[in-house]
Amino acid sequence: MSGDRTTAQDPSQLAPQYSPAEVESRRYAGWVDAGLFTADAAAVAAGRPSFSIVIPPPNVTGSLHIGHALEHTLIDSLVRRRRMQGYSTLWLPGMDHAGIATQNVVEHELARESLSRHDLGREKFVERVWQWKAESGGKILGQMRRLGDSVDWSRERFTMDEGLSRAVHTMFKRLFDDGLIYRAERIINWCPRCLTALSDIEVEHADEDGELVSIRYGDGAGAIVVATTRAETMLGDTAVAVHPDDPRYAGLIGREVELPLTGRRIPVVADPHVDPEFGTGAVKVTPAHDPNDFEIGRRHDLPARTIMDERGVITAPGPFGGLDRFEARPAVVAALREEGRIVAEVRPYLHSVGHCGRCGTIVEPRLSLQWFVKVGPLAKAAGDAVRDGRVKMHPPEMAARYFDWVDDMHDWCISRQLWWGHRIPVFYGPNGAIVCTAPGEDPPGADNPGSWQQDPDVLDTWFSSGLWAFSTLGWPDDTPDMRAFYPTSVLVTGYDILFFWVARMMMLSLYAMSGTSQGQAPDAGREPAQAIPFYDVALHGLVRDSHGKKMSKSRGNAVDPLDWIDRFGADAVRFTMARGANPGGDVAVSEEWAAGARNFCNKLWNAARFSLMNGARVPAELPDPASLTVADRWILSRLASVTADVDALFEAFEFGKLSEALYHFAWDEYCDWYLELAKVTLPPPGQPSAGPAGAGPAGADEAAAERTRDVLGYVLDRLLRLLHPVMPFLTDELWAALTGEESVVVAPWPGQRVDGAGAPVASERFTDPAAEAQIAALTRLVTQVRRFRSDQGLRPGQRVAAALTGIANTPLAGHEASIRTLLRLTPPDDGFAPTASVQAEGVTVELDTSGAIDVAAERRRLEKDLAAATEEVDRTQRKLANPGFTAKAPPEVIEKTRQRLAAAEADMTLLQSRLAALA
Partner RNA sequence: GGGCCGUUAGCUCAGCGGGAGAGUGCUUCCCUGACACGGAAGAAGUCACUGGUUCAAAUCCAGUACGGCCCACCA
For residues 99 and 461, the answer to whether their CB atoms sit within 8 Å is yes
Task: Work out whether 13 is an interface residue with RNA (CB under 7 A).
Answer: no
Rounded Cα gap, residues 88 and 44, in angstroms: 7
Part of the chain binding RNA (CB under 7 A), chosen from 70-78, 335-343, 590-598, 834-842: 590-598
The least CB distance from residue 637 to RNA, in Å, is: 18
Q: Per-residue string for binding with RNA, 364-403, x by CB under 7 A? A: ---------------------------------x--xx--
For residues 110 and 126, the answer to whether their CB atoms sit within 8 Å is no
CA dihedral (545, 548, 552, 554) positive or negative: negative
For residues 212 and 349, the answer to whether their CB atoms sit within 8 Å is yes
Rounded Cα gap, residues 491 and 503, in angstroms: 12
Give the DSSP per-residue string, 65-98. Answer: -HHHHHHHHHHHHHHHHHHHHT-EEEEE-EEB--
Count of residues that bind RNA according to CB under 7 A = 102
Task: Work out whether 585 is an interface residue with RNA (CB under 7 A).
Answer: yes
Where b means 16+ CB within 10 Å and e means fewer, 853-862 reads bbeeebeebb
The least CB distance from residue 454 to RNA, in Å, is: 31
Task: Work out whether 596 is an interface residue with RNA (CB under 7 A).
Answer: yes
The least CB distance from residue 283 to RNA, in Å, is: 4
Part of the chain binding RNA (CB under 7 A), chosen from 404-412, 530-538, 743-751, 806-814: 404-412
Task: Work out whether 247 is an interface residue with RNA (CB under 7 A).
Answer: no
The least CB distance from residue 222 to RNA, in Å, is: 18
Which CB sits closer to RNA, 443 or 585?
585
Among 404, 478, 764, 863, binds RNA (CB under 7 A): 404
Q: Per-residue string for binding with RNA, 600-619, x by CB under 7 A? A: -xxx--xx-xx--x------
Among 34, 111, 250, 893, binds RNA (CB under 7 A): 893
Name which of residues 191 to 230 contact RNA (CB under 7 A).
200-201, 205, 207, 212, 226-230
Name which of residues 406 to 425 contact RNA (CB under 7 A).
410
Rounded to whole angstroms, what are the CA distances from 347 to 211, 214, 217, 751, 772? Answer: 5, 8, 18, 67, 73
Phi and psi for 830 in degrees, rounded to 5? Answer: -60, -40
Among 116, 131, 546, 850, binds RNA (CB under 7 A): 546
Among 124, 299, 765, 795, binds RNA (CB under 7 A): 795
The least CB distance from residue 879 to RNA, in Å, is: 7
Which CB sits closer to RNA, 171 or 274?
274
Part of the chain binding RNA (CB under 7 A), chosen from 50-58, 175-183, 544-552, 557-565: 544-552
Part of the chain binding RNA (CB under 7 A), chosen from 317-325, 525-533, 624-632, 893-901: 893-901
Task: Work out whether 244 is an interface residue with RNA (CB under 7 A).
Answer: no
Rounded Cα gap, residues 106 and 85, in angstroms: 45
One-letter amino acid at 409 equals M
For residues 865 and 904, the answer to whether their CB atoms sit within 8 Å is no
Task: Work out whether 689 is an interface residue with RNA (CB under 7 A).
Answer: no
Phi and psi for 436 in degrees, rounded to 5? Answer: -100, 120
Task: Work out whether 437 is an interface residue with RNA (CB under 7 A).
Answer: no
Where b means 16+ CB within 10 Å and e means fewer, 82-117 reads bbbbbbbbbbbbbbbbbbbbbbbbbbeebeeeeeeb
Task: Work out whether 352 is an interface residue with RNA (CB under 7 A).
Answer: yes
Name which of residues 273 to 332 contact RNA (CB under 7 A).
273-276, 278-279, 281-284, 291-292
Name which of residues 158 to 177 contact RNA (CB under 7 A).
none
Give the DSSP per-residue string, 658-676. Answer: HHHHHHHIIIIIIIIIIIH
Name which of residues 262 to 281 contact RNA (CB under 7 A).
273-276, 278-279, 281
Name which of residues 628 to 687 contact RNA (CB under 7 A).
656-657, 660, 663-664, 667-668, 671-672, 675-676, 679-680, 682-685
Phi and psi for 176 in degrees, rounded to 5? Answer: -65, -50
For residues 433 and 393, the answer to whether their CB atoms sit within 8 Å is no
Half-sphere exposure of 233 (CA within 13 A, CB side): 23
Task: Work out whether 820 is an interface residue with RNA (CB under 7 A).
Answer: no
Among 264, 786, 844, 853, binds RNA (CB under 7 A): 786
Rounded Cα gap, residues 540 and 562, in angstroms: 21
Q: Per-residue string for binding with RNA, 857-876, x by CB under 7 A? A: -------x-------x----
The least CB distance from residue 175 to RNA, in Å, is: 22
Long-range CB contacts for residues 23-31, cutoff 8 Å, separation at least 24? 23/729, 23/730, 23/733, 24/146, 24/148, 24/565, 24/569, 24/570, 24/729, 27/728, 27/729, 27/732, 27/733, 27/743, 28/145, 28/148, 28/729, 30/742, 30/743, 31/150, 31/732, 31/743, 31/745
Part of the chain binding RNA (CB under 7 A), chosen from 41-49, 165-173, 247-255, 350-358: 350-358
The least CB distance from residue 864 to RNA, in Å, is: 7
Task: Work out whether 496 is an interface residue with RNA (CB under 7 A).
Answer: yes
Name 845's bridge partners.
804, 838
Name which of residues 31 to 50 contact RNA (CB under 7 A).
none
Nearest 5°: the CA angle 383, 388, 392 is: 80
Residues 6 or more apart from 669 whose CB is under 8 A from it?
A: 635, 638
For residues 608 and 716, the answer to whether their CB atoms sit within 8 Å is yes
Part of the chain binding RNA (CB under 7 A), chosen from 121-129, 636-644, 752-760, 781-789: 781-789
Among 727, 897, 910, 914, binds RNA (CB under 7 A): 897
